[in-house]
């Protein structure tokens, strides 16, 4: 019927508004498709990691002291300012430098404030419920009043090793005992950030990936492990039989610092050679003090398989697919329109 009307209007020599719509529609469809494709292609590139400046080398950074209980391993630097209190360091194995409250720590605290503000201002973020456990999220910014993890939170980079995840909790971050965060498809802890408006608590035996940037304090309970950083602006950091591994992503050389049993600080330096025995502990530090994030896939799935979980977030490939289909549709309509005009 539509083609019949088009032919009738053409034979009458009159221009019906519908003709202009028919001629314009393919162009509009293509334009909409192109507009959908190109912003989608650049969306991920626009989200950069949060710069931490001098704080980037720190595995543990505090504002009002660091307290440790039991055998704790820290791969990365440590420091606290303005309160220089450090307690329980006789059982800390440190592959890094204890800057305590020196000038390096002071600069790191200043840079942490800048990084915290950048993370808090990123977005707009996608609102998520408090409970993140049992979900798979793709790169982006996610926000909520409070955030918690029970079970497993899976971060799928969609094959982009530079993909960035920023989580914004206006109040607290609490992870349950035995919970874990895993990364699929090539990501690392370097580009995962947890901006916390008050304090963070990591449950017993839990495993977190990424850097916590907390306004107040951070508590890692017994056996909690972190691939990333514990950075508290104003409050204390409390450790208890933990392993904290800072992935600086660019540095291959680190210094090793550990207190002796008497509380003094013995310094050693390693550049990736043989393991170094730390005085007063009998423990050894890994060459270079670095470590690699391991990604455990829930349910025994292969490393390239995305688990089927209730919430998958927004897939940035969708606009690209929709835009491409619109461009193809517009091109087809143009060809049909050209053939009709040629047949007349």
pLDDT tens sequence across 269-296: 333 333 333 333 333 333 333 333 333 3
Helix, coil or strand: residue 23? helix
Out of 51-60, 203-212, 296-305, least confident range? 296-305
Which pLDDT belongs to residue 344? 64
1 forms bridges with which residues in the sheet? Answer: none
Rounded-to-integer distance, Cα 298 and Cα 316, Å: 23
Tell me how far CA of residue 167 lies from CA of 42, 50, 182, in angstroms.
21, 12, 15
Which pLDDT belongs to residue 27? 55
Name the nearest CA neighbour of 60 among 218, 191, 166. 218
pLDDT tens sequence across 46-99: 468 899 999 999 999 999 999 999 999 999 999 999 999 999 999 999 999 999
Rounded-to-integer distance, Cα 236 and Cα 217, Å: 5
Rounded-to-integer distance, Cα 164 and Cα 275, Å: 33
Residue 178 pLDDT exceeds 60: yes
152-156 and 180-184 strand pairing: parallel
Tokens coding 268: 């050693």
Residue 338 pLDDT exceeds 90: no
Cβ atoms of 189 and 247 closer than 8 Å: yes
Rounded-to-integer distance, Cα 99 and Cα 81, Å: 10
């Amino acid at each position: 019927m539509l083609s019949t009307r088009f032919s009738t209007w053409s034979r009458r020599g009159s221009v019906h508004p519908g003709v202009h719509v028919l001629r314009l529609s393919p162009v509009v469809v293509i334009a909409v498709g192109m507009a959908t494709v190109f912003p989608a292609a650049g969306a991920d590139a626009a989200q950069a990691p949060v710069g931490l400046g001098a704080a980037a080398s720190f595995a543990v950074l505090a504002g009002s002291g660091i307290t440790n209980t039991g055998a704790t391993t820290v791969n990365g630097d440590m420091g606290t300012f303005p309160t220089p209190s450090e307690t329980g360091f006789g059982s800390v194995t440190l592959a890094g430098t204890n800057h305590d409250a020196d000038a390096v720590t002071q600069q790191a605290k200043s840079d942490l404030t800048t990084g915290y503000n950048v993370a808090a201002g990123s977005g707009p973020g996608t609102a998520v419920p408090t409970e993140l456990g049992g979900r798979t999220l793709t790169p982006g910014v996610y926000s909520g009043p409070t955030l918690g993890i029970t079970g497993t939170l899976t971060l799928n980079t969609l094959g982009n090793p530079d993909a960035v995840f920023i989580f914004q909790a206006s109040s607290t971050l609490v992870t349950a005992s035995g919970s874990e965060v895993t990364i699929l498809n090539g990501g690392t802890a370097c580009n995962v950030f947890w901006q916390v408006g008050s304090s963070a608590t990591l449950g017993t035996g839990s495993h977190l990936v990424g850097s916590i940037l907390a306004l107040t304090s951070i508590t890692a309970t017994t056996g909690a492990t972190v691939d990333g950083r514990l950075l508290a602006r104003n409050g204390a950091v409390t450790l208890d039989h933990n392993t904290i591994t800072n992935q600086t992503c660019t540095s291959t050389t680190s210094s090793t610092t550990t207190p002796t049993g008497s509380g003094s600080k013995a310094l050693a330096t390693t550049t990736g050679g043989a393991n170094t025995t730390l005085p007063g502990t009998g423990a050894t530090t890994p060459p270079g003090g670095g470590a690699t994030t391991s990604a455990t896939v829930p349910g025994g799935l292969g490393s390239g398989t995305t688990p089927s979980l209730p919430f998958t977030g927004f897939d940035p490939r969708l606009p690209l697919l929709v835009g491409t289909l619109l461009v193809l549709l517009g091109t087809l309509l143009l060809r049909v329109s050209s053939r009709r005009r040629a047949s007349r």
